[in-house]
Amino acid sequence: MKLEHVGIAVKDLNHSKKIFDSLFGYQSYKTEIVESEEVTTVFYKTGDSKIELLQANKNESAIYKHIEKRSEGIHHLAFEVTNIEQEIERLKSEGFQFVNKIPKQGADGKRICFLHPKSTNGVLIELCETMI
């Protein structure tokens, strides 16, 4: 398991993109709409990991609700796994709670699921597996 990316919730993707373009000194490598999460994402490569900016596309989305409740900022940590189903079963047996136990299509060619922050010291954890 390795840190794949850090997800950052933002209100205005264009404004945030300018900030991170300046911060890193280069532009993002990908912008993608993720229908299943009702967000638009922008990705930056940062060494062996990535930064993902997430903007809500709908007021009902988890990102919109997160920003309304907690403001902009770090939303989740994502860890790459080689077999997401096995990892879900292993973590369930360890007593972790899940937001979704069935992997779904995520951004950047990944299948994803989320562990509930109640079981991870208040941190939303995403498991992701690269789809072939």
Q: Quickly tell me which residue has 């988890």 as its tokens.
A: 62
Q: What pLDDT was estimated at residue 20?
A: 97
8 A C-beta contact, residue 110 and residue 129:
yes
If the chain, 132 residues long, is cut into consecutive pieces of 10 residues, what is the mean pLDDT of each piece? 96 97 96 94 96 96 95 96 96 95 91 96 96 79
Q: State residue 51 phi and psi, 5-degree precision.
A: -115, 130
Q: Strand pairing of 73-80 and 104-105?
A: unpaired
Q: What pLDDT was estimated at residue 78?
A: 97
